[in-house]
Structures are given as structure tokens and as C-alpha cells.
A and B are shown apart, each in its own frame.
Chain A
Amino acid sequence: MPNVVISTDAITRLFQRKTAVRDLSLQVEQGSIYAFLGPNGAGKSTTIRLLLGLLRPSAGNIALFGLDLRRHRREILARTGSLVETPSLYEHLSARENLEIPRRILIAPRSDVDRVLGIVGLENVGRNLVKTFSLGMKQRLGLAQAMLGKRELLILDEPTNGLDPAGIQEMRSLIRRLPGEHGVTVFLSSHLLTEVEQVATHVGMLSQGELVFQGSIEELERLRQARLQIRVSDIDSALALLSAHGWQARAENGYVVTSDVQAAAAINRALIEGGFEVDHLTVQSISLEEMFLKMTSAEVN
């Protein structure tokens, strides 16, 4: 069983009367890129602040690397880098000086500054003042800060926010490389579905402070394969045949439709062996966007 890096046990966070996060139980495996997906105001940033100890949960427990966050805060934060919303930088200092601040606190070797500047591709502008940097460069410097020292987990809150398309691509390719090349587990929040499809290995979907889906990208993919659409010569006889085999199907717009997607090959074989002409058989997927809206609206309702 893979090691679990982040484990929350039914955490709830209240802000006066409003519940920002309710009974949230996250499980993030080591080496994964876990996309924490949700619309604006779903509770993503609150969750990230809870994971970093910036907010305290009203109920429930948080464990990172198997350690209780309340009791082992410093040890956990030494192994956890973060980039919360916009990068927190001192604009009057150079990129190197901005890295020097966390480096000293993390007691990391001086060479680490060069290492992380190299990873984010800012090695040639290390001595430039941050106020001369574009937003994309600042975001990359923020990521470099988060990677200083012996970080095993990166928590990134909307890391591509405010970036231009080229910056978004650069950031995503950087994130994709992190687990393989640097042995880092990534937990990133996003409201961009394309981001999830392109970088994540695991997904958690949040709606109104509650987790409505959690699993691997493959599990999500299976859920998205919503139905099988078949065109045959005689719809009524085909439906009878499928029913005799125990598959539930219906007629819809001149097609036989079933939600038994996993049995696509078996259904095809049964129809052909039953003497039907099958000239069309497709697995129809719903888009991630449709699925997300379906899940979150179901939750709302």
C-alpha cells in the first residue's frame, strides 16, 4: 500500500456561522500529483491554510507524513513547501536574496539556492531585483522558494493563476516533472479542469466545503465513460437479447443505449453471435466539466 503523505480525518472549519469546510477526509499518496478541484469559494484555499497550520480546524485532525500537525508543526513544515495564491516575495530584494530568507530558516546549504534557481529556469536572473520580474517569473521564483531544502511535499494554491498561456504551460510542465525528477508529492488546488486533465494523477473534488469525489485519474475516467451507444438492424430484438443476457438497455434516438460500459466487448460479441448487424458502437464520455457540474450540482441539491 502506498505511503499516505496527507491524511485528514473529517476536518471541519467554521467561520462564525459559515461552514467553509465540512467533514473533509483527504488521502494523498506519496509521489502523486493530487489536484484539489472546486469552484471559487468551495473551500480550497481554506483547506490549504488548514494543511499549512495557518488556520486551525474547528473539528477533526490533520496528519502529514503520519505526524499530527498540531504537535509536529515545525517538523512537518520543514518537509513541506508551499505557494499560496500569489507568490510572497520581497520586491526590493533580488531573486537570490528572496531565496536566502527561507534558506536560512530551513538551514539548507547555500548551494540549494543555485539548485532551485536551475530547476525553475531563473539561474541567469538571480541577481536581478524581483520588482523587475514578470508575473510568470515571480510565480516560478515562488515555486523555487517552496522547493528549497529537503521538501517532500509541495502545496500549491492555484499555481497558474494570473499567468499568460505560455506561463501556464511552463508551470504545468514544471509541476509534471516534480514527482519523477525530484521525488516530491504535489498537492495543488485549481478551478481549471484542463489543468487537472493535464497534470494530475489523483483528483479530489470539493463542492460547498464537502468532498464529492476522491480517487485516481483512471477512476475519474471510468466515471466519465457514462454510456455505450449501439446502432443495430433491429432495436427491439436487440434489447430483448441484451435483457436475456442480464444487461439493462433502452432505445434512444434510434440507438440502443446502456450504461454497462465495461461490458462493451461482450455486448458486441453477443449481438453479432445473435445475428445482428452492428454498424456503430461507441463509448460516450461526458466532459470533465459536465461531470464536475453534475457532481457539484447534485451536492447542492
Chain B
Amino acid sequence: MFFRVLSTECLKLKRTLALWMVLVSPLVMVLLQFAITYKRAPDFIQNAKDAWPPMVLQTVEVWTLLMMPMFVTLETSLLAGLENTGKNWKSLLALPAPRWTIYTSKLVVTIALLWAAHAVLIGGTLGSGLLLKLIHPNLKFGSMPLHPFVVPMLRVSAAALLAVTIQHWVSLRWYSFTVPMGFGMCAMIAGVFAVQSKAIGSWFPWSLPIRAVLDGAAGVDRITVVAVVGATVAAIIGCWEFVRREVG
């Protein structure tokens, strides 16, 4: 039944802004980075510097610190809005599907959309580098930074799970669009401050992803464990609350 419910959640994405955001959000980031690197191209050429490392590092940092939290907030709010705007909960929950399948399939869709956006970001950034190489043949591009790009993004993808799970619950708990939006924005700002302290930043859900980038560990470290275990616990608690919830 879970996969049947999951397939209906995928069907609901058709023609939605939530789906377009998977392309638009990372490509805005890619475009911005392309413009910055293009403008700085004469410097790179003069100093014979490899253009990949600053491109990749800036992309990962800006995306993780600012764009991704906004993306998660918007995506979860838009996905919850599919049910909230049409007051669809009463008919959805009157269908013979276990409620946990509805809660978890919506969470899986949110995570899948985030990870798809990360794939677009990686692909778009590498593609924009190749385009710059064509425009500026003298611009030095070393070997394609697959490992230095993909590994941090995988760590970010895992470290974001706790914030995504909490934001998912908030979006489904309050039917208003403004509550999850306001919550997400406040959490993002708090995350920007919390990241400056390693002690707090390594625990605060919204600063875990950027801490994962800054700490630069290669494999599974404490941040990943905190995020994955925390997300599992948050998902179980959120699901428990959702299953027991009454629809008035």
C-alpha cells in the first residue's frame, strides 16, 4: 500500500510549482555562479588559477546556507498546500490507506525533490563550467571536480534530513501557508547564527548541513549520525501525531 500511496503523491506533483522549483532553484544558483565566475574570468586568467575550486566551494556554501533552507521551506509548504487549499485531508484520510503511509510518502517525496535539486545543482554547475571554458578558452579548468563536489553535496543531503523532517511535520500540522513559511524562515536565520558556534551548530538542525560542509569530513561523521538518527526520531514522532490526529 505504501508504494500505491507514494505513486499518488507523485501524481499530485504534476503541473505544480513544487516540481518546477526542483529545476528553478538550483538553476538560479548556477546562473548566479556562472555570472560571478564570468566576471572574475580575467583575474583567473591573469593568475592562472583553476576556476573549478572557487566555483564549486561558493556554490556548495551559498546553496547550503541560504538557498537550500528556503527551498525546503517552500517545498514543504507547497506540498502541504496541495491538501490544505482544497481541504482535501478529510477525503484523503477517509480512503482505506493506513495513515502512516500518507505521512511517510509525503516525506519521501519531499526528500526526493531535495535530492533531485542537488543533482540539478551538480549537473548545472559542471555544465556551466564547461560553457565558460568554451566562452573563455584561456580560463584554466583543471580536472572535473566530481569528488570534491559530489561528496560534500552527499553530506549536505544527509545532514539536511533532520530539518526537512521537522519542517515536513510543521507544514502538515498547521493548515495555514504562513505558519510553516514563517517557521522555516526563522529557523533558517537561527541556523545562520548557530553555525558560527561549532558546539551549537553541530546540533542545531538548520545549521547541520553547512557544518557538514565546513567540517569537511569525508565519510560518515557525528553530524551525519545526528541528522539521520534525529530525522528518524522526528519522523516517528511526527507520524505518530499524524496517525492520531482528528480531522474536524
Contact = CB atoms under 8 A, between A and B. Distances in A.
Interface of A: 49, 52-56, 73-78, 80, 82-93, 97, 100-102, 104-107, 142, 145
Given A49-B248, A55-B246, A105 B86 contact: no
B134 interface: no
A87 B86 CA distance: 8
- The dominant DSSP class at the A interface is mixed
Q: Could you say which interface size class chain B belongs to?
A: 20 to 34
Interface in B223-248: 246-248
B248 A55 contact: yes
Given A55-B248, A84-B94, A90-B88, A105 B8 contact: yes
Interface in B48-107: 82, 86-98
B91 to A, nearest CB: 4
Contacts of B87: 85-86, 88
B7 interface: yes
B91 A82 contact: yes
A74, A80, A93, A101, most chain B CB atoms within 10 A: A101
- The dominant DSSP class at the B interface is loop
A92 B16 contact: yes
Interface of B: 1, 4-5, 7-8, 11-12, 14-16, 82, 86-98, 246-248
B51 to A, nearest CB: 41
20 contacts: A49-B90, A54-B90, A54-B248, A73-B96, A75-B96, A76-B96, A77-B94, A78-B96, A84-B91, A84-B94, A88-B88, A89-B88, A90-B86, A90-B88, A97-B11, A97-B14, A104-B4, A104-B7, A105-B96, A107-B4
Nearest to A91: B86
B6 to A, nearest CB: 10
A56 B11 contact: no
Contacts of B12: 90, 93, 101
The 7 closest A-B pairs by CB, nearest first: A88-B91, A77-B96, A88-B88, A78-B96, A54-B247, A74-B96, A52-B94
Contact of B246 (A56, A86, A97, A106): A56
Contacts of B5: 104-105
A32 B248 CA distance: 27
A83 B95 CA distance: 11
Contacts of B93: 53-54
B16 A145 contact: no
